């Protein structure tokens, strides 16, 4: 496609490719993959899309990877995930160690924050830099572990090993999904309880919340039926249970429930009810605990012009 260079400035920033995994439920079809394994597959698809969208034959996947400035990944649940999960995802996507890869934790805003950071970085870099950044987020809430602090463990030493044995009769393991993501670090209340406070403050009753949930599910169903998600969904390979080389291909979102109704939602009990507050937030009108990944490839306008990517409003 021919692009008129007068329609944008060389330092304008564009989204060249965008992909996401299906959204898996906790302990669902994606639970066998760590967050970086989800992210690596989605980043690979983003890179492939960018090369296919270019009119210039000079842009290959290898040259695009070498032109990357960095990879920025939002991830909240990193307990026991290994050093720098952003680097792990990048390497799985074939991105070499020479390309910086780093993570962001801003809770629910982590993934979106990486896009803002990528935009800012591309706006201030000189044209001599690569001009491409991958930004997005990855999470496996299913694989977030229970933890026991090492300072409450018995220590046993011999000549060969140092072993830690927890006082299981006195220590309660910490659920890192709650501790690191769903529990306010300052007020000590869960996100669902925060929603109850907001609902009470702004007079958002149970029926309004349920109706919003039903409408949201209907919008999802209509978008899916129209093929709206086809271009962004990346099939994810998951090792089959039992080992071996067999894999399962996951292509469908698990969390949405488009068949729900006001009647079915009305039968659900509030999850955060208290003696002085009946509660309005339920499993049917609240966010879920899920696994997934989503990434964008952003570039400066000079790179867009060089490789003649299609510009869409």
pLDDT at 163 over 70: no
Residues recorded for the chain: 313
Q: Is residue 91 part of a domain?
A: yes
Q: Is residue 174 part of a domain?
A: no
- Comparing 211 with 301, which gets the higher pLDDT? 211
Q: Is residue 34 part of a domain?
A: yes
Per residue in 1-14, pLDDT (tens digit) is 445 556 778 889 99
Residue 34 sits in a domain whose CATH number is 3.40.47.10
Q: Is residue 257 part of a domain?
A: no
Q: Is residue 189 part of a domain?
A: no
pLDDT at 137 over 50: yes
Least confident among 47-56, 174-183, 216-225:
47-56
Cβ atoms 23, 233 nearer than 8 A: no
Instruction: Please give the pLDDT value at position 194.
Output: 95
Q: Is residue 273 part of a domain?
A: no
Q: Is residue 135 part of a domain?
A: yes
Task: Name which of 79, 76, 59 is nearest 67 in CA terms.
Answer: 59
Per residue in 180-205, pLDDT (tens digit) is 999 999 999 999 999 999 999 999 99
Question: What is the average pLDDT across 212-216?
Answer: 98
Range of the domain at 42: 5-144+290-307
Question: What is the average pLDDT across 27-31?
Answer: 97
- Comparing 157 with 51, which gets the higher pLDDT? 51
Structural domains in the chain (count)? 1
Q: Is residue 127 part of a domain?
A: yes
Global confidence as pTM: 0.92
């Amino acid at each position: 496609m021919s692009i008129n260079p007068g329609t944008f400035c060389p330092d304008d920033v564009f989204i060249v490719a965008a992909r996401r995994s299906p959204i898996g439920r906790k302990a669902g079809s994606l639970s066998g993959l760590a967050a970086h394994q989800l992210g690596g597959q989605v980043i690979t698809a983003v890179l492939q899309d960018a090369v296919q969208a270019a009119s210039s034959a000079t842009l290959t996947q290898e040259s695009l990877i070498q032109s990357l400035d960095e990879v920025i990944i939002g991830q909240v649940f990193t307990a026991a995930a290994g050093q720098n999960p952003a680097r792990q995802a990048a390497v799985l996507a074939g991105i070499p160690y020479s390309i910086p890869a780093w993570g962001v934790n801003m809770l629910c805003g982590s993934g979106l924050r990486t896009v803002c950071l990528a935009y800012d970085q591309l706006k201030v870099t000189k044209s001599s830099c690569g001009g491409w950044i991958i930004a997005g987020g990855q999470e496996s809430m299913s694989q977030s572990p229970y933890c026991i602090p090492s300072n409450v463990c018995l220590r046993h030493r011999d000549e060969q090993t140092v072993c830690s044995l927890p006082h299981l009769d006195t220590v309660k393991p910490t659920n890192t999904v709650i501790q690191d993501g769903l529990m306010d670090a300052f007020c000590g209340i869960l996100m669902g309880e925060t929603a109850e406070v907001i609902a009470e403050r702004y007079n958002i009753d149970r029926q309004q919340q349920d109706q919003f949930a039903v409408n949201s599910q209907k919008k999802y169903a209509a978008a899916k039926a129209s093929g709206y998600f086809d271009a962004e969904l990346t099939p994810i390979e998951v090792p089959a249970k039992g080992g071996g080389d067999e894999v399962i291909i996951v292509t469908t979102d698990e969390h949405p429930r488009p068949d729900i109704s006001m009647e079915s939602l009305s039968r659900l009990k509030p999850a955060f009810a208290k003696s002085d507050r009946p509660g309005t937030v339920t499993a049917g009108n609240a966010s879920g605990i899920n696994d997934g990944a989503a990434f964008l490839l952003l570039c400066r306008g000079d790179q867009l012009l060089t490789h003649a990517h299609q510009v869409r409003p």
